[in-house]
Structure 1
Amino acid sequence: MDENSVHNPLLWGQGSGHANVRRKTPLSVTLAKWILKIAMLALFISWVALMFLFPADFVQKLFEKWIQATNGTVFGITGSLFLLFSGPILLIAVLSIAYLVVSGEEELHEKKASKYPSFRLWTFPVLVDGPFGVVSAAELIGILLFVVFVIWAVYAYIMSILSLMSDQLTFKEKSCLFLEILGLRFGLIGMFCLAFLFLPVARGSVLLRFIDIPFEHATRYHVWLGHLTMLLFTIHGLLYIVAWTIEGRLLHEILEWRDIGVANLPGVISLSAGLLMWVTSLPPVRKLNFELFFYTHQLYVIFIVFLALHVGDFIFTMAAGGIFIFILDRFLRFCQSRRVVDIISVKCLPCGTVELVLAKPENLRYNALSFVFLQVRELSWLQWHPFSVSSSPLDGKYHISVLIKVLGKWTEKLRGNILENSEKELPFSPHSQITASVEGPYGHETPYHLMYENLILVAGGIGISPFLAVLSDILHCVREGRPCLLRNILIVWAVKRSDELSLLSTIDMDSICPSFSSKLNLETCIYVTRESEPPLEEGKVQNTLDFSLCPTSKRCGMSVLVGTGHTIWSGLYVISSTVGFVISMGLLDIFYINPFHISSWWYKGLLFIVCMITSVVIFGGLVVGLWHLWERRILAKEQFEDDKLNIDKAEHKETVAREDSHLAKLTGIRYGARPDFKEIFETVSKNWGHVDAGVIVCGPPTLQSSVAKEIRSHNFRRQSDHPIFHFNSHSFDL
């Protein structure tokens, strides 16, 4: 057994062509990173504290002094509020770019195996059942902070309103005045929540990359914030409706579109669009008709535009920062998704799962635990569906793979098209060619699965797909001597029927790393839940039905604009768009708004939105164009020609063509049983000892809850010589 045995972490192997000594980070880099972190933390805390304490009287007085001191500038009160409420988050985004550039592309060499295992707030499950799903301690703190903020703000505003009530007013007048002012305050609280709402769905934003939260995790925060924001805006609208009904002027007020002050009709339109999005996003509706949810959610454009018309430019600036970051991301995704990507090969497995192998450039960065969004134009021009990547970035320079299980109408059409094409002599005729557009990949900035010494992978059904990429990634790291801490891996996979075992044929561990068993302790447990006994050919994985299709006529790979893209280019894009927006607003104020005395709130709100969009399209679009030219130049240098692409395809075919993968031979299969996670974790605790053990779950919510419940129970009652389990979810629950 060599020096990289299972008893020694694979921090620095002896692979040729790779650094065999640990690189020491320069002091200047470390210092710069700490300064940037402290600056961003101070900015974020100040920004959040401002919104949290805004209802307090002393903050209101300071706010009035700030407005008086800055109102004389070219930008006026709009600039004052923008600098106060949107400036901090945009500055944090710029500092995040600087941090990512200073950090470099990979920080894995800085990670060490901890001698003292400890709990972590973001991987310790606290709530495992209920409307929020599995909630970590860090997420629970965030939820409580938002709840406390809303309760405190409502209380503070109610006390303030009551102190303003005059005894000279009648009870009816007092009631209507109270409802209208309280409705106004609920709208203000909703604007503060709206400031956060769009940040989690900016899929490839530098903010998500900096805090290393992938899009599939951040989506749930958008869902939670969406429910809270729409609840506040709905109460805001209802309070006004009740007050206007009591006063007998409901219809008049709803249809009013005043120039000076809040315009009511745009607010009604905005709230109506928001309510439609909210209702169709509720779980019963979303699960019953996902397409209805998807299409109605595009009404966010109506929601945002008419909100700006409703409140005007200076109030809209309270939430403009997060919305601007979302617009930046959305335009970049639009540019990336216009490219048609070659499908190198398509395969149908016996279980009905489809494997797509897509062309990609060599310089595309992604991690094994990544997602891509796919659009197949032959099926739909509007639908985009997320899928886990099933290949490691080390599997090949010019391809990326995804496994797609047939679960709905779209996936049924996809498989039907493939089977129809497979029956023809020519794989792709001009009239039956399948093309794809891709957004992503999206994922963690660093491969966190390589940063544990001990790893448990729990999958349900097609949830094994990302773990095949993880295994391949680990084996490549072992073979090539790349940084890797892992020494113990346990795979727990639950499937309904044995034909799903054919998914294992997509990875051949022996061909990737023939001597991995001397360097890794790998155990696998498979549970076939709906079959009481093995099929006739026990232990044999069925042959893959290979309908390899290679329409590489355009030789077009995925774009590198989104996901974990080039940091410098993405930074230039963000900075140029932000500076362009400030310049646009300044020029607009100097040459149009101030000279012509434009005072209509709704019109200035519209101009503000137009400046946001045009600055991204014009200033940011210029950088994107240069970025695209740079990308083409890089591809030309890499000589992305037929010979390299064919080599990559041949390597891929060689990897997946075997009937029985080594992983299939290693498995212990139990029929008619479900995983007993209590027994599994107890066994692991005895065998692994006092260590940090990462647990990654990919499967339905019930599987996540079961694993999280056992981890929470074990961590609470663990003995001193038992592992500390860290829960990580890799499920895209939209």
Structure 2
Amino acid sequence: MAVDELYSAQHPLLLSNGAHDNKQNVKIRGFFVSLAKWALKLTMWVVFVAWVALFFLVPTDFGSALYDDWVDATCGTLFGETGSVLLLYSGPIAIIVLLAVPYLLISGEEQHEELLQEKRTPRFRLWTFPVLVDGPLGVVSAAELIGIILFVVFVLWAVYSYTVVNFEMLPSYGDLTLKEKRVFMLQMSAYSFGLISLSCLAFLFLPITRGSILLRLIDIPFEHATRYHIWLGNLIMFLLTLHGLCYMIVWAIRGIVPSEIIEWKSDGGANFAGVICYVFGLLIWVTTLPPVRKRYFELFFYTHQLYILFVIFLALHIGDTNFSKAAGGIFLFMLDRFLRFCQSRKTVNVISTTSFPCGTVKLVLSKPGNLPYNALSFIFLRVRELSWLQWHPFSVSSSPLDGKNHLSVLIKTVGDWTTKLSGQVSDIADESQLELPVQPHSQIMASVEGPYGHESPYHLMYEKLILVAGGSGISPFLAILSDIIHLSKEKKPGLPKHVLLVWAVKGSNELSIFSAIGMESICPFSTDELNIEIQTYVTQESEPSLEEGNLHKPTSPSLLSLAKGGSMSVLVGTGNKIWVGSYVILSTIGFVISLGLLDICYINPFSISYWWYKGLLFVACMVISIFIFGGLVVGLWCLWEKRTIAREEVKEDGEKIDMMQHNAATDKNLCQETLANSYSVRYGCRPDFREIFGSVSDGWGHVDVGVIVCGPPTLQSSVAKECRLQNLKRRKNGPIFHFNSHSFDL
């Protein structure tokens, strides 16, 4: 994406004429745009608050009465009781998503201007103030802690409310013995745990829709929202365990365990389907536990695909009416999954490869010029020669301003998959140095999902930046440095004025990674507008292993053949807003039409009443609507993509890469002469964040300081702890530290 396109909001074209009428038109247009944004935002907030309030009200007597009144008033329509519950529970999500589409469209032009305005008033923000820095949840911000508390309060409140209601129902069952009352309460408690877990399930799939309209609306990237999915998954499986365990105890007391387990009711919950559903959920849950996930990642990855069977058997277990309570989030996830599948079908050209002495490799991938991304984006990458099923996430190490027709990623060798990839890149480099044609077995055929990331380049909203990286965590910060330098050279206003990069590595051979962005272009880089300071810590070496002033040098980039593939597909949820919005809206309308046709043509005429069967048909309608109606939009989107790419000149990629290599070669000698003075390298020690942040606090004044961390959990915890400490003891005119994590941890 071009610089002018990214930052056009700062210099509106209408103002360039200087005419009074045009200025007046701009003001009027700005007023109506702001009014429309305000109205849309207010409506979405009202719908969201009402939706959350619904979950708190339903467990009470008052809420149950309202729920029954709603169902009685609406179940006589075409969609029946299922339609009533679907509209009540999943309707709010659909409304928010539909309103988010025009909101994102009209707010896109003002996005960067709003970021620049925010940085003028230093203040605390709930999302960036770390509250909990140690513990099983990792670093938790104030906003996240509020969300956690709300969920905990909801679960406790729901358990209490359902228990009170169950006690009030006891007299209606006649004279019961004490044992019968206890068994009854245990059975109703089991049912209540199921209802509560179903309410939590309504939120489970929302954080993992990678290109979700909702995540774009609140500007939370997928890699950060994944932790919410993990938290909710643990809570839901805990509740489901209580749900099943209570039922098993009741059946054991009554001596009917075998018969109840295999029972498949037609007018109620199919128990056997529920048992199968829980088994799949348990397998997923066990393999997500840190000791299993970190040691057997492939087992975790493949077992996680059982979510498909989990959803299907859940629908068979609870039927269409109850399933519709969680259908909104599941439907949005299915939309995202289908779009990702369509995007990943395209083979992407690997334009060039570079191998670094530390085992890290750099891949430059071809992308269309109209596919946007930000400096802190990431992609999922699959290499078919290595595995047809494995997808691995990598941070993008290039800025969108480096060239609109390519992006690059850095991949560190840490496992079997990355080791094989590194070996393949080395083979290509050897063939290139020997001036041999690249052999077919050495060609890298990649598939890509993404890029994903923040809706806006939030690293530009801070006047001062502290970037803390551990090992390969330097990758996204190379993109940030490149991004800021490009914009600084273009004399763009409102950019970060001081960037401090703190990088901890195990060995000095990792320092060569700096050449991935042409370190010579930023060293030294200190002007009145921008000052970049780099502090590097080599933790496992007591002294330099090379002569002073020299660096480990990577292999020269190896250019690959572009014959078999093309550029990345633009079919991505974080891409074109009009196409994404059309895809979501038309698929939603198609789902409603599919349900209506199902009722008119099949369920009502044939008096279909089996819960499990209607649940299966409900899921089938979701799938069919996405394939037919969503597939229509995807097909038109692909035609638009082909026509757009056809207008671009094919030679643009090569020119961009040649220009990058030429610029790097031009400044190479300057870098070697001044590298020792441009940044400091300390051996045999780790960063002292107390000293670093204390120095910053004393010298940077009353400003917002963005702290971005990419590295292991221990590094994040250490930095978050220091941010919290500095904020709590800050003086009146001291800086405010805003903690941001960019670490992807599956």
TM-score by length of 2: 0.94
Task: Pick closer, same or farther for the CA change 1:20–1:478 going to 2, 3 Å.
Answer: farther
State the match for 1:124 in structure 2.
129
Contact 1:700 1:731 in 2 (8 A): yes
State the match for 1:589 in structure 2.
599
Report the structure, 1 or 2, having the larger helix content.
2
Q: Does 1:714 align with 2:708?
A: no
**1:650 is matched with which residue: 641, 658, 678?**
658
Contact 1:13 1:20 in 2 (8 A): no
How many angstroms does 1:485 deviate by? 2.5
How many angstroms does 1:176 deviate by? 2.3
Where in structure 2 are there 5+ consecutive unaligned residues?
Answer: 1-6
Q: Does 1:501 align with 2:508?
A: no
Contact 2:702 2:733 in 1 (8 A): yes
SS for the counterpart of 1:694 is strand
Deviations 1:261-316 (A, max 9, x none): 11111111111100100000011100110000000000000100000000000000
How many angstroms does 1:683 deviate by? 0.5
How many angstroms does 1:103 deviate by? 1.2
1:196-215 matches, cutoff 5 A: 196-215=203-222
Deviations 1:476-530 (A, max 9, x none): 1112234543111111111111111001111236648997634202111111111
Where in structure 1 are there 5+ consecutive unaligned residues?
Answer: 1-9
Q: Does 1:54 align with 2:64?
A: no
State the match for 2:372 in structure 1.
365
**Greater Cα shift, 99-108 or 237-246:** 99-108
Deviations 1:211-240 (A, max 9, x none): 100001000000000000111111111110
1:2-41 matches, cutoff 5 A: 26-41=30-45
Task: Pick closer, same or farther for the CA change 1:306–1:59 going to 2, 3 Å.
Answer: same
SS for the counterpart of 1:406 is coil
State the match for 2:470 in structure 1.
460
How many angstroms does 1:591 deviate by? 1.0
Q: Does 1:270 align with 2:277?
A: yes
Task: Pick closer, same or farther for the CA change 1:304–1:586 going to 2, 3 Å.
Answer: same
How many angstroms does 1:117 deviate by? 1.6
- Letter matched to residue 123 of structure 1: T
- Letter matched to residue 656 of structure 2: D
Deviations 1:416-468 (A, max 9, x none): 12223333353522233211000000110000011111111111111111000
- Letter matched to residue 74 of structure 1: L
Task: Pick closer, same or farther for the CA change 1:242–1:415 going to 2, 3 Å.
Answer: same
Q: Does 1:391 align with 2:403?
A: no
Task: Pick closer, same or farther for the CA change 1:51–1:733 going to 2, 3 Å.
Answer: same
Contact 1:504 1:663 in 2 (8 A): no
Q: Does 1:83 align with 2:87?
A: yes
Q: Distance in 2 between matches of 1:11 and 1:727?
A: 29
Q: Does 1:165 align with 2:177?
A: no
**2:199 is matched with which residue: 180, 192, 198?**
192
Deviations 1:363-386 (A, max 9, x none): 110000011000000000000000
Contact 2:399 2:479 in 1 (8 A): yes
Contact 1:194 1:319 in 2 (8 A): yes
Deviations 1:669-705 (A, max 9, x none): 1111111111111111111111111100011100000
Task: Pick closer, same or farther for the CA change 1:30–1:601 going to 2, 3 Å.
Answer: same
**Greater Cα shift, 328-337 or 426-435:** 426-435
State the match for 2:254 in structure 1.
247
**Greater Cα shift, 534-543 or 448-457:** 534-543
Q: Does 1:381 align with 2:381?
A: no
1:438-517 matches, cutoff 5 A: 438-482=448-492, 484-508=494-518, 511=521, 517=527
Deviations 1:85-119 (A, max 9, x none): 00100110111111011112561123325444211
Q: Distance in 2 between matches of 1:290 and 1:350?
A: 26
State the match for 1:696 in structure 2.
708
**Greater Cα shift, 121-130 or 471-480:** 471-480
Q: Distance in 2 between matches of 1:151 and 1:543?
A: 59
Task: Pick closer, same or farther for the CA change 1:13–1:172 going to 2, 3 Å.
Answer: closer
TM-score by length of 1: 0.95
SS for the counterpart of 1:517 is coil
1:672-683 matches, cutoff 5 A: 672-683=684-695
How many angstroms does 1:540 deviate by? 1.8
Percent identity, aligned pairs only, is 61
Deviations 1:645-683 (A, max 9, x none): 221221233355548477775111111111111111111
How many angstroms does 1:733 deviate by? 1.2
**Greater Cα shift, 197-206 or 656-665:** 656-665
Q: Distance in 1 between matches of 2:550 and 2:712?
A: 27
Deviations 1:320-374 (A, max 9, x none): 0000000000000000000000000111011110000000111110000011000
State the match for 2:409 in structure 1.
402
- Letter matched to residue 657 of structure 2: K
SS for the counterpart of 1:400 is strand
How many angstroms does 1:54 deviate by? 1.3
SS for the counterpart of 2:532 is strand
Contact 1:184 1:236 in 2 (8 A): yes
How many angstroms does 1:163 deviate by? 2.4
Contact 1:506 1:655 in 2 (8 A): no
State the match for 1:4 in structure 2.
none
State the match for 1:413 in structure 2.
420
SS for the counterpart of 2:606 is coil
Task: Pick closer, same or farther for the CA change 1:13–1:604 going to 2, 3 Å.
Answer: closer
- Letter matched to residue 189 of structure 1: I
Q: Distance in 1 between matches of 2:636 and 2:676?
A: 48
Contact 1:396 1:652 in 2 (8 A): no
State the match for 1:599 in structure 2.
609
Contact 2:538 2:686 in 1 (8 A): yes
**1:288 is matched with which residue: 284, 295, 300?**
295
Q: Distance in 2 between matches of 1:503 and 1:670?
A: 17
State the match for 1:5 in structure 2.
none
Task: Pick closer, same or farther for the CA change 1:292–1:40 going to 2, 3 Å.
Answer: same
Contact 1:504 1:664 in 2 (8 A): no
Q: Distance in 1 between matches of 2:184 and 2:489?
A: 73
Contact 1:12 1:483 in 2 (8 A): no
State the match for 1:140 in structure 2.
145
Deviations 1:558-583 (A, max 9, x none): 01111420000000000000000000
State the match for 1:568 in structure 2.
578
How many angstroms does 1:730 deviate by? 0.4
Contact 2:10 2:113 in 1 (8 A): no
Q: Does 1:108 align with 2:118?
A: no
- Letter matched to residue 654 of structure 1: H
**1:633 is matched with which residue: 640, 643, 664?**
643
Q: Distance in 2 between matches of 1:621 and 1:106?
A: 32
Q: Number of residue pairs matched?
A: 723
Q: Distance in 2 between matches of 1:106 and 1:551?
A: 41
**2:76 is matched with which residue: 72, 75, 84?**
72
State the match for 2:237 in structure 1.
230
Contact 1:479 1:513 in 2 (8 A): no
Task: Pick closer, same or farther for the CA change 1:340–1:175 going to 2, 3 Å.
Answer: same
Q: Does 1:525 align with 2:535?
A: yes
Contact 2:521 2:664 in 1 (8 A): no
**Greater Cα shift, 288-297 or 528-537:** 528-537
SS for the counterpart of 2:241 is helix
Contact 1:244 1:253 in 2 (8 A): yes
How many angstroms does 1:172 deviate by? 3.3
Q: Distance in 2 between matches of 1:12 and 1:676?
A: 40
Contact 1:354 1:415 in 2 (8 A): yes
Deviations 1:54-111 (A, max 9, x none): 1111111111111110010010000000000001001101111110111125611233
- Letter matched to residue 715 of structure 2: L
